[in-house]
Amino acid sequence: MAESAIIARVLASVLEVDTAAWNTLLDQQSHPTPFMRHEYLAALETSDSATPRTGWAPRFMTLWDGDTLIAACPLYLKNHSYGEYVFDWAWASAYEQHGVPYYPKAVIAVPFTPVPGSRLLARDDAARALLVQAVCQWCEDENVSSVHILFASDDDVLTSAQQDLMLRHTVQFHWKNVAPTLVDSSSALPSEASSPFGGSNQPFKDFDHFLASLAQDKRKKIRQERRRVADAGVTFRWSRGADISAADWDFFYRCYERTYLEHGNPPYLTRDFFARMAAHMPEAWLLFVAEREGLPIASSLIAISALPSGASGQKDQKWVAYGRYWGALERVDCLHFEACYYQPLQWCIDHGVQRFEGGAQGEHKMARALLPVQATSAHWLAHPAFAEAVERFLQRESAGVEDYLGELQARSPFKTA
């Protein structure tokens, strides 16, 4: 690549980038997700969910070879650390104690969405490296304290490390539609072709087949929890895509909003955001509604990766589901587990979905057969002394995360050979 011919442009909105050009670049990446699609990022802006008012000032770094977009990433200037799920409050506090401004900082991430995937969209490795260089140089020129690439793909991590960014590891919990092994938990984005237990990678036949793979105490616990929900007279229905009615979207938002308000915070996402999802990305959403005596009482919303072209209605081993949002208007024992785990897992098994990602944190997910995986972020700090201190901290933290993963791996919910 002739670097002198590449032009970097920082844009104030993803709306300034052609939708097809952005999505074409995304589709070329190793781990695209629905959350990096142009429509999703545009909805965050236009719905007033991720905007300067909420502390997410959008900037989009783009690299151009003539009129061709060869690399791009979302870049948000932040004046707080909410909605990121990779916690750096201690770093901000240390800056403040020394009279050095930590905010604004730059975050390369999908706002409010701790889902691992490609963040640095590029036509090749060389363009990806130039993109990282351009971001760091722009932040240095603009007196931005730092760059944080959150929940990055393996390609992003490799490029970031080659550009001397510091790596930070966290733990998530994911389920795979095959009796799993805990031997390889090095990445939150495993190869879909990996074969646990020495070669068998057949998906579960049904939910009972899945339960049969679990240790007896875990199997018994899940059956008891499901029975409590059923005995309470709760039933479920699901709708996908354009079949989700406007009334169901409205009901879901009541549940979603209540969950946040019960914790003393307004919801991150506006009702208009979900209206835009229904209009522009309906295929990416699956809604479960819990009903009792004919009335809806709770719901959970799952994101799913779109089927490849021509595969409509067929099972696809690379289809991925993402647990996202839930809420309830009534309290029923174990309803959360049924709505957020057992109903989605049963749907994934019935439809041949390869993986279900349960999101950030939560050791309780292991009892529901979601296994620990490592997610990675990359960080660049402009201040040399703080960068050195953070690097030492991350070395200690990484050792702790490795030990933590080891402890979790010893607590497999599955039968031992």
Q: What is the pLDDT of residues 24-36, one digit of tens each?
A: 999 999 999 999 9
Q: Would residue 398 count as lying in a domain? A: yes
Q: Are residues 27 and 133 in the same domain?
A: yes
Q: How confident is the model at residue 187 (pLDDT cuts 50, 70, 90)?
A: low
**Across-strand partners of 404?**
none
Length of the chain: 417
Mean pLDDT for 110-138 is 98
The CA distance from 277 to 281, in Å, is 5
The answer to whether residue 189 is domain-embedded is: no
pTM of the model: 0.92
| Orientation angle between helical segments 154-162 and 125-141, nearest 10 degrees | 60
d(C-alpha 83, C-alpha 100), whole Å: 23
Report CA 260 to chain centroid distance, whole Å: 19
Beta strands 166-176 and 355-360 are antiparallel
User: Do residues 347 and 389 both lie within one domain?
Assistant: no
Residue 416 pLDDT: 77
Residue 156 sits in the same domain as residue 12: yes
pLDDT at 306: 59
User: Do 118 and 51 belong together in one domain?
Assistant: yes
Residue 5: what pLDDT? 87
Residue 405 sits in the same domain as residue 294:
no
Shared domain check, 387 and 265: no
pLDDT band, residue 309 (cuts 50/70/90)? very low
pLDDT-derived band at 308 (thresholds 50, 70, 90) equals: very low
Which pLDDT value is given to residue 315? 43
SS (H, E, C) 189-241: CCCCCCCHHHHCCCCCCCHHHHHHCECHHHHHHHHHHHHHHHHCCEEEEEEEH
The answer to whether residue 340 is domain-embedded is yes
Residue 363 has what pLDDT?
Answer: 86
Query: How many domains is the chain built from?
Result: 2
- Taking residues 352-372, report their average pLDDT: 89
Residues 137 and 265 in one domain: no
What confidence tier does 53 reach under pLDDT thresholds 50, 70, 90? very high
Task: Look up the domain containing 168 and give its range.
Answer: 3-172+374-409
- Cα 61 to Cα 75: distance, rounded to the nearest angstrom: 7
How high is the pLDDT of residue 307? Answer: 46
Q: Tell me how far apart the alpha carbons of residues 352 and 347 are, in angstroms, rounded to a whole number.
A: 8
The model's confidence at residue 314, banded by pLDDT at 50, 70 and 90, is very low
Q: Note whether 235 and 344 are same-domain residues.
A: yes
Query: Which pLDDT score is estimated for 3?
Result: 59
Q: Mean per-residue pLDDT for 41-47?
A: 98
- The four Cα atoms 185, 191, 193, 195 give a dihedral, to 10 degrees, of -10
Report d(CA 228, CA 144) in Å as an integer.
Answer: 52
Q: Which 8-state DSSP code applies to residue 150?
A: -
For residues 16 and 133, membership in a common domain is answered with: yes
Tell how far CA 244 is from the center of its chain. Answer: 22
Interacting residues of 313 by C-beta distance below 8 A, sequence separation 6+: none
Average pLDDT over residues 376-383: 98
Are residues 109 and 247 located together in one domain of the fold?
A: no
Match 């339960």 to its residue by tokens: 211
Assign 14 to helix, strand or coil.
helix
Amino acid (one-letter) located at 259: T
Res. 177 pLDDT band, cuts 50 70 90: very high
Residue 243 has pLDDT above 60, yes or no: yes
Percent of the chain with pLDDT over 90: 85
CATH code, domain with 349:
3.40.630.30
Find residue 379's DSSP bridge partners. 148, 166
**For residue 311, what pLDDT band results from cuts at 50, 70 and 90?**
very low
What is the model's pLDDT at position 359? 77
The per-residue pLDDT for 2 is: 53
pLDDT band at 361 (very low <50, low <70, confident <90, very high): confident
Tokens of 84: 């990121």
Whether residue 353 has pLDDT greater than 90? yes
Mean pLDDT for 58-72 is 97
Closest of 370, 330, 379 to residue 348, by C-alpha: 370
